[in-house]
Structure 1
């Protein structure tokens, strides 16, 4: 991963300020939700029970697992079904022969894929930090955690809810659902079966199911009353619907269409407040207002504290790894009336949201 960070003077960094935007709409349903993106992934290797546990301890309302499937049809949490960046599989000689190339969502990938391993085999692997260039401290936890199943994450949320006295929600993403369906491993049946087992069957459940695709959300809508979220990137199209594009889906008319099958949207945060040419936050778009008019909640992603990810005026300097002022960035988005947001850094997110 390459990091292109402008070499700007401290004077310029301090001179540029984040746009102060006025509130456009109030959140739909009470307090703004803090969604722990892959757990407390800014401080632990992502998608591990250690990461989720820390996120809960830091006050997250929801924990977010990206769900892929094993060869034997078990849902597990990984950022991608290709696992060489997030596990030690490449160092395991017994699995050297599993390395292969596949085309997923139109992109050719080479590595090791969850669908080529049974759950028992995956459980022999250990997780590692996905962004070692930015998060060197997290590497101290490499090798300490297994790949968790979705069932184990549900168990954790249930146990922590009982322990803390507050409800810990689950925010699963179906990862590459049309690809997995094409190889005979659809998400829907095992996902809904597990949710039903834990009593999560309606809109009152502490659950949101999210996807970048469209048709699997429509299929889920016909099978569950659990809240659904249409994810949207800054550009591009849903992998299963190349006839659509995300910016058009984020318009007032596009959001009305999304409201026919989803309860909210999870936009790339640039669709809510784009950045200027200098890299500061610009003026908010009308997305939040338009989504609320359509009856949709808005949960943008992803807020991270490293300079590499921050607006120019929130950076602490030119080192991409250094910690900047993510709280000020989050507050600018809160002023637009968002209903929740994803963050790798739960402690800072809670501080911003609960002020």
Structure 2
């Protein structure tokens, strides 16, 4: 008997599935192309041209992130066309904090067995996020890794590059006592704290993903899968018009970890949590988990996805400009002298 010849497919890697995935992804990728894109899908690297006439001293700002265990919600729901948007949001919102305009994005998707339709849905979400952020999806990688991931599961990570003129970098150094903090609402839990969320709802309470919760007005799954908000378009316009002194993206670590990242030494942020309009999901989590309020603010965004630091004389103009764009924003605190980074007044 002739010995069977081993192939790559025998080991669990289906090259044809990879080809099919790329074919299905192309229509979503091309939707994101901006005028700076000078390469097509399939090259070894993505090419992007910078208009150097727009900048005196151009500085590139990079950011990378993933979606975390929120992916488990997508697996439970078998819904994969939104988590890519989360991945984009986590990256572009971060570089925005330095005053940078995001230019392009690359993604990395790894799975045990490549399913072309599922991979295409993931990239559809990435594409939607890129369009919202005004960035081009110029490259990516899809890795099939047998025996490495559980059946039906995958991971996604992303990388973005933005640009800012050196004189316009936002680093918080000009923040001073008396400056005001403006909050922009989140869409919900965003992409942080899901290890706690999953333990509470599915392990401790034993809820099913399709459980309808009256306080939310929807099922648990539909609430938790809501994509992270992308703040690039409204906030970048503000950066060009006003002296935005600091920007904080409220991600992992909540208020306590992220707001101090934009503050100079010797200053602290005093936050009035009573004015923050919390989405109902946070009250549900707090009540069911019997979680201390400070623990909530050190884990979740609690309804504020982005915080801006501006001088007192520009507050009204900034808020009104956002309202003109149908963007809700309101004062949540101020800067004072002191140590400790953040003081929350409940």
Q: TM-score, normalised by structure 1?
A: 0.25
Larger Rg: 2
Kindly indicate which of the two structures has a greater share of residues assigned to helix.
2
Q: TM-score, normalised by structure 2?
A: 0.25
Kindly indicate which of the two structures has a greater share of residues assigned to strand.
2
